[in-house]
Every structure is written in C-alpha cells, then in structure tokens.
Amino acid sequence: QVQLVESGGGLVQAGGSLRLSCAASGTILRIGDMAWYRQAPGKERELVAAITNGGFANYADSVKGRFTISRDNAKNTVYLQMNSLKPEDTAVYYCNARVVVSTTFAEHNYWGQGTQVTISS
C-alpha cells in the first residue's frame, strides 16, 4: 500500500511564501507523474502544477511565474514552492501521484489528505 503525506501549509500574508512537501511511502516500485491540486470552498478541484518523473513541469496560468514544482526521487517527495502568494491562492492543497506498486507492478493513482493554505490580505 502507498501513502502520501502533505506538510507545510499554514497562514501567511499576501506577498509571502510557503513551501509544501508531499512524501510518498509504502510498497513503491516507481513513481511517475506527481502533481499538486487545490480546492477552495464551493469550487472544483483544480490542477496547480504537475511534474514528470524526468522533471518536466507545467503550471496553471494563475500560478505561472510564482510557484515552482520540484521532486526528489531518492526521497519519493514532491515540493511546491509558492511565492508572491495572493488571497485567491487560499485553498486545501492536495498531492497526487501515479505509483507503480512493487507487489503487483500495477499503476495506481493516490491522493494525500490535503493541507490548508490560507492567505490573508
């Protein structure tokens, strides 16, 4: 089984920065794409940033130039560096990963529990 655990959320003023981390653990053979999503109250969950196993990244237009996604494959961890934060960035941020499980060699999609990010004006 695989677990994703996010950390790093909190309360910060507009213009500030936060770094989110998501560590995967369990019966992992290989992790493919990893991504960060966010969901604000009453809104659809949206893709914020994604990164391939090889390090190619893409971003939602709303965060481009402000957020940076990265990963450390040796630690099975993905990060989201968030700079120049705005009140509209307030949401629960969720980690997502496509994982090939070592016990069956099957690929599964996993979600973290979410971490709250609140930006005050």
CA–CA gap between residue 38 and residue 30 (Å, rounded):
24
pLDDT of residue 61: 98
Task: Report residues of the chain scoring pLDDT below 70.
Answer: none
pLDDT of residue 33: 98
pLDDT of residue 24: 98
Task: Identify which of 16, 34, 50, 6 has the alpha carbon closest to the alpha carbon of residue 121.
Answer: 16
Please give the C-alpha separations between residue 93 and each of 21, 39, 65, in angstroms, as whole numbers: 10, 7, 18
Kindly tell me the sign of the dihedral angle through the C-alpha atoms of 57, 62, 65, 70.
negative
pLDDT of residue 65: 98
pLDDT of residue 21: 98
3-state secondary structure of 42: coil
Kindly tell me the sign of the dihedral angle through the C-alpha atoms of 63, 14, 92, 70.
positive
pLDDT of residue 34: 98
Q: Residue 80: what residue type?
A: L
CA–CA gap between residue 107 and residue 12 (Å, rounded):
36
pLDDT of residue 100: 97
